[in-house]
């Protein structure tokens, strides 16, 4: 799933700014759940994987900051070419 998250990050620039922030934050939090599952060695019987609220807030805030910085620095934007 990590590869899919990385692939999705490159397409975020195609979204409107506010939508991009929300999707980046959600993606970061869901990736945090994947990290928690990895720490449990993907054991399905250990119960629900929970990411604490403070960790979710940190992940979301970091994602929002990265996307905001990308919108300010056009050199970091991915340019699409329509054929």
Give Cα 80 to chain centroid, integer Å. 21
Residues contacting 11, CB < 8 A, separation 6+: 78
Q: What are 9-53's pLDDT values in tens digits?
A: 888 888 999 999 999 999 999 999 999 999 999 887 888 988 999
In this predicted structure, the answer to whether residue 80 has a pLDDT above a threshold of 70 is: no
Q: 37-41, 72-76, 78-82: which range is least confident on average?
A: 78-82
pLDDT at 70: 85
pLDDT band, residue 73 (cuts 50/70/90): low
Instruction: Please give the full DSSP string across 45-66, using - where no structure is assigned.
Output: GG------HHHHHHHHHHHHHH
């Amino acid at each position: 799933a990590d590869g899919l998250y990385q692939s999705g990050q490159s397409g975020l620039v195609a979204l409107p700014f506010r939508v991009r922030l929300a999707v980046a934050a959600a993606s970061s939090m869901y990736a945090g759940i994947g990290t928690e599952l990895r720490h449990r060695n993907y054991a399905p019987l250990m119960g629900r994987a929970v990411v604490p609220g403070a960790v979710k807030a940190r992940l979301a805030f970091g994602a929002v900051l990265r996307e905001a910085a990308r919108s300010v620095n056009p050199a970091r934007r991915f340019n699409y070419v329509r054929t």
